[in-house]
Amino acid sequence: MANNSQTSVRTPEPEREMVRRALPFGPPAFVLALLVGAAAGGWNVGWSAAIGVGVVYVNFIVHGLSLARAARVSLTALAAVAAGGFIVRLGVIVAFMFLLNRFGWFSPLAFGLAVVPATLLLLGYEARLMTRGLGAELQIPPPESAAKAAAKLASKEGAAS
């Protein structure tokens, strides 16, 4: 009798699928931030807002792909990337803001006012995808020790009957 717990395969990668589904929204969001910012305070403000949206967009893509890679390694790696990745991503956004603040045309206010809603919208979109079943096909194989214990128990129960 085959042990299905070891042959369980995680065929779809929900993290990559999440990134794939969000890809079409990045360019229009970038253009919208540019135009709204330009209308509100000129082209410098527009570019600052568009860069903020772009940083959030690229950050989301990198985070999704790093989650997909970590998920192939182990659940511990996935948890570490999910938790630690959040802090790293925030650090990257703040570092970009400080780096760009050296330029006279850059508006940190416009950057921040674009980053915050873009981040919240992406988090909402991610939550919406997850509640609608993205990742429902996810099958997490048990640790090797648990699979061995289950097989041993099954053989004992089979011998007892």
Residue 6 lies in a domain: no
Residue 125 lies in a domain: yes
Residue 7 lies in a domain: no
Give the ranges where 42-74 is alpha helix by DSSP (H). 43-73
Residue 57 lies in a domain: yes
42: left (phi over 0), alpha (psi -120 to 50) or beta: left
pTM summary value: 0.73
Residue ranges making up the domain that contains 49? 12-160
Residue 59 lies in a domain: yes
Residue 43 lies in a domain: yes
Domain count, the chain: 1
Residue 3 lies in a domain: no
Per-residue pLDDT of the chain in tens (161 residues, 90 and over written 9): 444 444 444 446 778 888 888 889 999 999 999 999 999 999 999 999 999 999 999 999 998 899 888 888 888 888 888 888 888 888 999 999 999 999 999 999 999 999 999 999 988 888 887 777 665 555 556 667 777 888 888 887 777 66
